[in-house]
Amino acid sequence: MTGLLEKKKRILDDISASASFEETEEKRIKYLSKKGEITLLFEQIKTVLPENRKEFGQVLNRLRNQALELINEMKSKYSEVKSEKIDLTLPGRNTSAGRYHPLNMIKDDLKKIFNKMGFSVASGPEVETEYYIFDALNMPSWHPARKVTDSLYVEKDKLLRTETSSVQIRTMEKGKPPFRIIAPGRAYRNEKENATHTAMFSQCEGLYVNKGVSFAELKGTLKEFFRTLYGKDTIIRFRPHYFPFTEPSAEVDVSCFKCKGKGCPLCKMSGWLEIGGCGMVHPIVLENVGIDSEEYTGFAFGLGIERLAMLKFGVNDIRDFFENDLRFLEQF
């Protein structure tokens, strides 16, 4: 037992003599690790005479606790000394500030511009039924958009909305005309991704229903929007098209920012970029939501927000908006 007490004194004195945080850690490993000296002493208990084992074990437990307490005190002491050596005159570390996403910038601009023209913002669920996506919008059962090759179904009758047009149906169901709303939000399609298409994208649906609404008002509204967003010299065009939910219908194009209308791979050599579709709300759509199509008319449009951003910021690949590359995002 005398030898154990001498070892105890030697170990505690050795720990107390540590001159740094690192040296104290070395003493911890030396004495308290799995192969440390104190740990190995516990294995000797079985060799001690039975009448002395209790006292031997008590001395070892006190030694282990005292050694651990002393090591912690020494570490705390040297940590405080170490912190006092910090040079407070050094310049602070640069922190990387976040950036407002370019798609959010366009959404904000879009809301402000249409708000000044009297449009309010509406929203709806991203998981919709076939009724709101197709049936109420006069989409025939044979239309390709209803197939799994074009749309992303989550259940037999439910799918991720292919456009935000479903919001106009939900809006018209809730009240009576006039309606003047925009519905920016995400939409999903079973698309093969390339420079101008992604499976998830953002769209802004617009709707105006009232007595005597004309196609001329639709053209004037969109021209005002594009010229406010891009400048007074912006060139846009309307091309006749077919949509089940509007009649007459048109595609809206803006001259390609990359080639300035000369033709390039981005615009498929056409000189134009398709921004969205528009038209007069089909009488059947109005009747489906209980609105008298003889008394009321309206127009609707759908704009691709990513494509608006591509034109605004000169981005030639739509996928850049979703890849979270800081080198791209920090430009904004």
- pLDDT tens column, 214-253: 999 999 999 999 989 988 878 889 999 999 999 999 999 8
Tokens coding 246: 């509007």
Write down the pLDDT at residue 314: 83
Supply the DSSP string of 23-82, one letter for each residue.
HHHHHHHHHHSTTSHHHHHHTTGGGS-HHHHHHHHHHHHHHHHHHHHHHHHHHHHHHHHH
* CA pair distance 122, 117, nearest whole angstrom: 15
Residue ranges of the domains in the chain? 2-84, 102-329
Instruction: Output the pTM of the full model.
Output: 0.68
SS3 274: strand
Q: Fold for domain 102-329? A: BirA Bifunctional Protein; domain 2 (3.30.930)
Q: How does pLDDT run across 302-326, given as a tens digit for each residue?
A: 999 998 998 888 888 889 999 888 8
Q: Express each pLDDT in 128-161 by its tens digit.
A: 999 999 999 999 888 888 898 899 999 988 999 9
299 phi, psi to nearest 5 deg: -125, 155
pLDDT band for position 264 (50/70/90)? confident
Torsion, Cα of 315, 318, 323, 329 (10° steps): 30
